Amino acid sequence: MTLKHNQLAPGNMPSHHITVAPDSRLFKIAGERPYINSRHHQAIRDVAPTLKVTARADDQVIEAVESIENDQILGVQWHPENMYKHHASSKALFADLVERSTEVAKRTRKQPQ
């Protein structure tokens, strides 16, 4: 099965589902099968040793990666910034980013100069 990853529909419209790894941060945020938009013509082939694949499209294209070293890196191949107004899983990605950023800011302020 091959999916069209460069959708012609408006960017705020989802075009296909992805399967998310149960042991990932993304799974906690978006669940097992979020419906995403897809507007890319390139995809990840080789994943850096410090990253793990955490989501794939049904045609096995990598759609998300996360760091294995810390919780500060979560990369997605789709465009949640176009979908957050109408899709809870996209909005939740931004809420998670803000939450993690706030925690880092708190830790950084507590460190002696």
Domain count of the fold of the chain: 1
Does residue 102 belong to any structural domain of this protein? yes
Q: What are phi and psi of 19, to 5 degrees?
A: -110, 125
Q: The whole model's pTM is what?
A: 0.86
Does residue 6 belong to any structural domain of this protein? no
Does residue 49 belong to any structural domain of this protein? yes
Report pLDDT for 54: 98
Q: What are phi and psi of 84, to 5 degrees?
A: -60, -25
Report pLDDT for 47: 96
Spatial separation of the C-alpha atoms in residues 20 and 27, rounded to whole Å: 6
Does residue 3 belong to any structural domain of this protein? no
The domain that holds 66 is classified in CATH as 3.40.50.880
What does the pLDDT look like over 42-70, one tens digit per residue?
888 999 999 999 999 999 999 999 999 99
Look at 39 and 67; give whichever has higher pLDDT. 67
Does residue 2 belong to any structural domain of this protein? no
Question: What range defines the domain where residue 96 resides?
Answer: 16-110
Does residue 95 belong to any structural domain of this protein? yes
Does residue 10 belong to any structural domain of this protein? no
